[in-house]
Amino acid sequence: HPETEIVFINSSSNAGNRITDVHEGLYGETDLRFTDQLPLDEIDVLFFCTAHGDTKKFMESHNIPEDLKIIDLSMDYRIKSDDHDFIYGLPELNRRATCTAKHVANPGCFATCIQLGLLPLAKNLMLTDDISVNAITGSTGAGVKPGATSHFSWRNNNISVYKAFEHQHVPEIKQSLQQLQNSFDSDIDFIPYRGDFPRGIFATLVVKTKVALEEIVRMYEEYYAKDS
């Protein structure tokens, strides 16, 4: 981003290595190296790109400068609680609150995709029945560490279901829908798939409604007009 300067990138496992040793696509863009140091007093914003649970542990065990802004990419603070002040950072839902927040919890990948398809309906109080979701994700969503289901020879020309009806992103999706439609209390029947492509998510959402297609299109255009 042209208005930001990366001061340091902390990594306990890659300390001393060049950023480009891990992220080869950044060759020519940076000479930075990973560090195991945390000079928090030298920065304005701290991003957490850590495993789920690690951000909360860090926050509880370190003295965080009072004016330091935090953006967390894990799921530690996505669900509202009296125990923290993190704002759920989906701009299409909480734009103003996110712009002024001190602490922001980034939405999950599936959660972002699915919510963008449902928020206009929730805004118009149209979610009155169960919702069916089928979504297929690319392999990079599993991270860089090789696993049994992330190798090319396994993913190529293949598709598989995982965490059917119990994916961890469902609670944050429901939370957002209830923010716009207090009465929403239906099930979200979510089937996630692993796809044979590297990046992106394709989602199909099935919602029951008697409203004409033209009216639904108008709702979406109106809701997302400020994002065009």
Q: Alpha-carbon distance 118 to 6, whole Å?
A: 35
Our answer to whether residue 49 is catalytic in this structure is no
49, 99, 109, 113: which one is catalytic? 109
Q: Which residues pair with 105 in a beta bridge?
A: 72, 88
- DSSP assigned state of 6: -
Angle between helix axes 170-180 and 109-123 (nearest 10 degrees) is 20
Q: Alpha-carbon distance 10 to 145, whole Å?
A: 18
Q: Alpha-carbon distance 156 to 145, whole Å?
A: 17
Please return the burial class of 8, using the count of CB atoms within 10 Å of its CB with bins 0-12, 13-18 and 19+.
Answer: middle
Q: Which residues pair with 33 in a beta bridge?
A: 18
Q: Alpha-carbon distance 75 to 56, whole Å?
A: 10
Which long-range CB contacts under 8 A does 150-157 form with residues at least 24 apart? 155/194, 155/195, 155/196, 156/196, 157/196
DSSP 3-state assignment of 56? helix
- DSSP assigned state of 140: G
Q: Which residues are catalytic?
A: 109
